[in-house]
């Protein structure tokens, strides 16, 4: 609900996660991009405590409780960093991290 991405980019995505946002209510003119992306094979996951109006479109609904969303994203970050930075050096990922993030300065 506070994202700043261009909704049309959803159509070009292969994996979309909606976290505690009911796109049908907050992004009504743009929600059609989700169904169009799903038609093209995009996987759509909803993290929300309730089975909301947007959850009916998703491939996977994860009913998180208060505080679990942070732990889930920390686990996702751990997997990404472990698989693309520690276990295997992926040049694209390394270049992206150096150019656009503060990761090289984190301890």
Segment holding 46, helix H or strand E: strand 43-47
Query: What pLDDT score does 1 carry?
Result: 47
How far is the CA of 95 from the CAs of 79, 84, 86, 102, in angstroms? Answer: 18, 12, 14, 12
Q: For the segment 50-85, what is each residue's pLDDT rounded down to a tens digit?
A: 888 888 889 999 998 888 888 888 998 899 889 888
Q: Which residue has the higher pLDDT, 7 or 83?
A: 83
Q: Per DSSP, what are the bridge partners of residue 78?
A: none
Domain boundaries, the chain: 1-64, 67-106
The answer on pLDDT for 107 being more than 70 is no
Q: How does pLDDT run across 22-40, given as a tens digit for each residue?
A: 888 888 888 888 888 899 9
CATH topology of domain 1-64: Dimethylsulfoxide Reductase; domain 2 (3.40.228)
Give yes or no for a contact between 55 and 22, defined as CB atoms under 8 angstroms apart.
no
Q: State residue 103's pLDDT score.
A: 80
pLDDT score recorded for residue 44: 93
Task: Confirm if 46 and 61 have CB atoms less than 8 A apart.
Answer: yes
């Amino acid at each position: 609900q506070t994202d700043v991405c261009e909704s049309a980019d959803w159509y070009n995505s292969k994996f979309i996660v909606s976290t505690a946002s009911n796109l049908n209510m907050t992004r009504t003119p743009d929600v059609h991009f989700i169904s169009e992306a799903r038609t093209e094979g995009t996987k759509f996951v909803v993290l929300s405590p309730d089975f909301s109006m947007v959850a009916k479109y998703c491939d996977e609904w994860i009913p998180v409780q208060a505080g679990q969303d942070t732990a889930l994203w920390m686990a996702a970050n751990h997997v990404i960093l472990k698989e693309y930075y520690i276990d295997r050096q992926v040049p694209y990922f390394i270049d992206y991290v150096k150019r656009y993030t503060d990761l090289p300065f984190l301890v």
